[in-house]
Amino acid sequence: MSETLEQIGQQAKDAATELARLPAEAKSEILTRCADSLLANQEAVLTANRADLTEASGLKASFIDRLTLTPGRIASMAESLRQVAALPDPVGEVLSMKTLPNGLIVGQQRVPMGVIGIIYEARPNVTADAFGLCFKAGSAVILRGGKEAIRSNEAIVSIFRNVLGAGGVNPHVLQLIMDTSRETARQLMRLNRFVDLLIPRGGAGLIQSVVENSSIPVIETGVGNCHIFVDESAQAEMALPIIINAKTQRPGVCNAAEKLLVHQKIADSFLPAVCSALREKNVELRGDAAAVRMIPGCIPATDEDWDTEYLDLILAIKIVRDADEALAHIQKHSSGHSEAIITENYTNAQRFLHEVDAAAVYVNASTRFTDGYEFGFGAEIGISTQKLHARGPMGLKELTSMKYIIYGSGQIRP
């Protein structure tokens, strides 16, 4: 493909203008047809994926796993497209409308973002997910996926573009950058004239690189060094299942708990049961000096531990003097993702909610709920740990912008 990034950008912008005018029903219909066509043409996708896998043989098992497509995984991709098709359309909603003293009627209306760029790793399922969400939100999307998945991505994109063309929609609402060199990724990050928003999806290195190099606004989905603070007044029978759930239900994700802070007054009575339950789940325990003294076999935590997102069956435990020390520790080490307090103390609960600076702050619940589906958004493009535009789980609404619409009757400014 000899298209330049400039051409891709211009095509996306033009297509986005047309897409913004497409009615909600037409968008849903297209997404449903994309799901059908993906299933009908799954052999082509699997063949392309096998070619990708052949070339990638020798790479890490977890990498290969993420790259691999199966009929089951393709069925999941199709099902996700159907779910997104069925969601309410976020575009057009008027958030507020009021009449000014001079008679101007000023409303704030949700509109498509325009053109969204997605930079991601060799995960072909993201190709379908990202297209589905951006399309439903009324935006054209430019995809730049990992080079190891290029054949799979091309096969998926080709199926969707055929559906778009057959449905009378400009296929440039979905474009895949075929040149997977670092240079094109960098060019994409400077394409401000055409691209309104860039979302990196992947590991910390990818996200860091996009944040540092992009002149386009970026939504950053970051790490989760999530804490649970068990206060003096916590109910042990409530705290224990929350800790086990937050640590072990799915340890490799960003909303899993990585740190446990325990009030010193209950450490003696509480820790034996929770540590034994964690060990039954094969969780490695690390701790500060006090925790190491209390917990047999607990490994001393290093300074680095307190800032580390393990994404693994490891938990670091710190005994704290009081809520003040817990809050100070969280403030210092939190990655701003999800933080929880387990307490029966009203004042400490309210204080924790008020003072902890994170995307999601919990009283008496597992941090694992920080998720677009759990929050009822019906879909999720990621979890933002930055403060601009979107913070926490991002659904369709977070992929939109707004504009002011003003109905006048001849008003001029005095």
Residue carrying the six token digits 């009449």? 99
Residue carrying the six token digits 């677009």? 372
Residues in region 41-60 near a copy of itself by CB under 8 A? none
Residues in region 333-362 near a copy of itself by CB under 8 A? 353-355, 357-362
What x-and-dash track marks residues 358-377 binding a copy of itself by CB under 8 A?
Answer: xxxxxxxxx-xxx---xxx-
Nearer residue to a copy of itself within complex by CB, 90 or 124: 90
Question: For a copy of itself, which residue of 211, 266, 290, 311 counts as binding (CB under 8 A)?
Answer: 211
Burial group, residue 239, by CB count within 10 angstroms (0-12, 13-18, 19+): buried
Handedness of CA 189, 192, 194, 198 (dihedral sign): positive
378 binds a copy of itself per the rule CB under 8 A: no
* Number of neighbouring beta carbons within 10 Å of residue 168: 10
26 binds a copy of itself per the rule CB under 8 A: no
Smallest gap from Cβ 75 to a copy of itself, in A, equals 22
Phi first, then psi: what are they for 227, rounded to 5°?
A: -110, 150
How is residue 375 annotated by DSSP? Answer: T
403 binds a copy of itself per the rule CB under 8 A: yes
The set of residues, in sequence order, having a beta carbon less than 8 Å from that of 47 and lying 6+ positions away, is 155
Nearer residue to a copy of itself within complex by CB, 166 or 402: 402
Question: For a copy of itself, which residue of 173, 218, 301, 320 counts as binding (CB under 8 A)?
Answer: 218
Q: How far apart are CA 111 and CA 94, in angstroms?
A: 9
Question: For a copy of itself, which residue of 100, 204, 273, 289 counts as binding (CB under 8 A)?
Answer: 100
User: How many residues appear in the chain?
Assistant: 414
Question: For a copy of itself, which residue of 71, 165, 272, 408 counts as binding (CB under 8 A)?
Answer: 408
Stretch that binds a copy of itself, among 47-55, 262-270, 314-322, 381-389 (CB under 8 A): 381-389
Which tokens go with 137? 């939100």
Q: How far apart are CA 395 and CA 381, in angstroms?
A: 6
**Strand pairing partners for 175?**
142
185 binds a copy of itself per the rule CB under 8 A: no
Stretch that binds a copy of itself, among 27-35, 47-55, 99-107, 314-322 (CB under 8 A): 99-107
How is residue 276 annotated by DSSP? Answer: H
Residue 288 near residue 301, CB atoms below 8 Å:
yes
Which parts of this chain interact with a copy of itself (CB under 8 A)? Answer: 17, 20-21, 98, 100, 104, 106, 111, 113-114, 190, 192, 196-197, 211-212, 215, 217-219, 235, 238, 241-242, 244-246, 249, 331, 353-355, 357-366, 368-370, 374-376, 386-389, 391-392, 401-413
